Amino acid sequence: MAGKKIITVFGATGAQGGSVADIFLNDPKLKDNWAVRAVTRDVTKDSAKKLESKGAEVVAADLNDKASVARVLAGSYAVFAVTNYWEKLDRDLEVKQGKNIVDAAKEAGVQHFIWSSLLNISNLSNGKFANVYHFDSKADVEEYAREVGIPSTFFMPGFYLSNIPDSFRPSPPNNAWTLSFPVTINATIPIFDTADTGKYVKAIVLNRDKLLGKRIYGATEYTSPAQVVEDFKKLFPEAGKTATYYQLPADTFKNYLTSVGMPDFAALELYENFQLFDEFGYYGGASLDETHALVEDKLTTWIDFIKKSPKFPADLK
């Protein structure tokens, strides 16, 4: 690692962090200048060993223990940090973990803190949607990072494309391909492939000075359920003949989630999350233009994603 700047990547064996680690290890513009310190809870698992074999320094840390976080941040120039609300469904815990990283990064003298953030939906909606905890918790950490004055850029991941295949499938009685969400057919959805995370973070570090204190919006484009179905029809003309969209009633959506084991509060949280697309905007109406002007690498479209997704049968392709 001599002579290279260290980027410490939290969640390096996960979807977002894994993409960041991968691009810093392999991209021609990054690999010669950056060394990757990959943080995970278990350095013995296969995904951690795979990262190590690619040249990453793999280290263990417990986000609940600030001293453990501080140890892995020593000597880091940049940090990419992401936390997982859905693991414990605990807003306060996620905020604590995020603040632990911020505090440790500040004390370590980190020069570029990149936080995987989201908007505060309670504020955006003027209190109408006060239960979207996994947004508000990340927004709390973003606000804290701004308050303590660490040099930061905030990466705002859009709606995961991986959420679509499970809601787009053949439905009775005629097995027509049907996309089902609890939003209107023309709702505005910023789509994001987690595999693209590294492309955005590459743009962030290459434009550090310009992006300090700014947000980068992690979305290929704004689309809608109508367009998602239309793209499916173009790609699969035979299966697409009867493809359609069905707007799930609120109770149907929430009852399904609770029937598969999700707590009532989390089902409400996800319902309110979806309502953003119609009412206030996932990004509050922000333009993607500035982000796209900085990202050099091709971003994944919905059609690109269908082609690589194992959730769509090979005989369709």
70: domain CATH number? 3.40.50.720
pLDDT in tens, 141-187: 999 999 999 999 999 999 999 999 999 999 988 889 999 999 999 99
What residue type is assigned to position 46 of the chain?
D
Sheet with strand 78-81: strands edge to edge: 57-60, 34-40, 5-9, 78-81, 112-116, 152-157, 215-218
Q: Are 216 and 203 in contact (CB under 8 A)?
A: yes
pLDDT in tens, 38-81: 999 999 999 999 999 999 999 999 999 999 999 999 999 999 99
**DSSP result, 227-260:** HHHHHHHHH-TTGGGG-EEEE--HHHHHHHHHHT
Binned at pLDDT 50, 70 and 90, residue 312 comes out as confident
Q: Establish if 34 belongs to a structural domain.
A: yes
Domains of the chain: total: 1
**Omega prior to 249 cis, within 30 of 0:** no
Q: Establish if 91 belongs to a structural domain.
A: yes
Q: Establish if 69 belongs to a structural domain.
A: yes
Query: Dihedral through CA 97, CA 101, CA 104, CA 105, nearest 10?
Result: -170
Q: Establish if 30 belongs to a structural domain.
A: yes
Q: Are 157 and 199 in contact (CB under 8 A)?
A: no
Q: Establish if 278 belongs to a structural domain.
A: no
The C-alpha atoms of residue 125 and residue 285 are separated, in whole angstroms, by 12
Q: Establish if 206 belongs to a structural domain.
A: yes
pTM for the model stands at: 0.97
Q: Which range marks the domain in which residue 72 is found?
A: 5-157+194-219+284-298
Q: Establish if 123 belongs to a structural domain.
A: yes
Q: Are strands 34-40 and 112-116 parallel, antiparallel or unpaired?
A: unpaired
Residue in the block written with tokens 């595999």: 195
pLDDT in tens, 225-249: 999 999 999 999 998 999 999 999 9
Q: Are 63 and 69 in contact (CB under 8 A)?
A: yes
pLDDT in tens, 89-116: 999 999 999 999 999 999 999 999 999 9
Q: Are 51 and 38 in contact (CB under 8 A)?
A: yes
